């Protein structure tokens, strides 16, 4: 003999399923998008590349540290500057 599911249990299961589906859709469409605006660090690095022509020997020690930090944080790819050690 089959037991019938009470309406309260059926509603609870549907609500939980909708919450899970909503969370998955939110993460897929909204939750993981990076910002479209460039960061201040990215703008500063772009200025340094334009000023030095990509030669890291022309950077000050502070600028060199900022570039290395940006590379470690994956803000910029590692091959933008030459002679960076």
Residue range 30-43: average pLDDT? 74
Residue bearing tokens 């309406």:
7
For the whole prediction, is pTM greater than 0.75?
A: no
First-to-last C-alpha distance (Å) of the chain: 76
The DSSP secondary structure of 44-74, one letter per residue, reads: HHHHHHHHHTTBGGGS-HHHHHHHHHHHHTT
**Same domain, yes or no: 20 and 55:** no
SS3 82: strand
**Same domain, yes or no: 44 and 85:** yes
**Same domain, yes or no: 56 and 78:** yes
Q: pLDDT digits over 45-67, tens only?
A: 899 999 999 898 999 999 999 99
As a whole number of angstroms, the distance between CA 39 and CA 27 comes to 23
**Same domain, yes or no: 29 and 42:** no
């Amino acid at each position: 003999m089959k037991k019938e599911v009470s309406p309260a249990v059926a509603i609870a299961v549907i609500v939980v399923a909708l919450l899970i589906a909503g969370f998955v859709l939110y993460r897929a469409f909204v939750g993981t998008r990076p910002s479209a605006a460039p960061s201040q660090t990215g703008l500063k690095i772009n200025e340094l590349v334009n000023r030095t022509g990509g030669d890291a020997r022309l950077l000050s020690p502070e600028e060199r540290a900022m570039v290395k930090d940006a590379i470690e944080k994956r803000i910029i790819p590692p091959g933008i500057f030459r002679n960076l050690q």
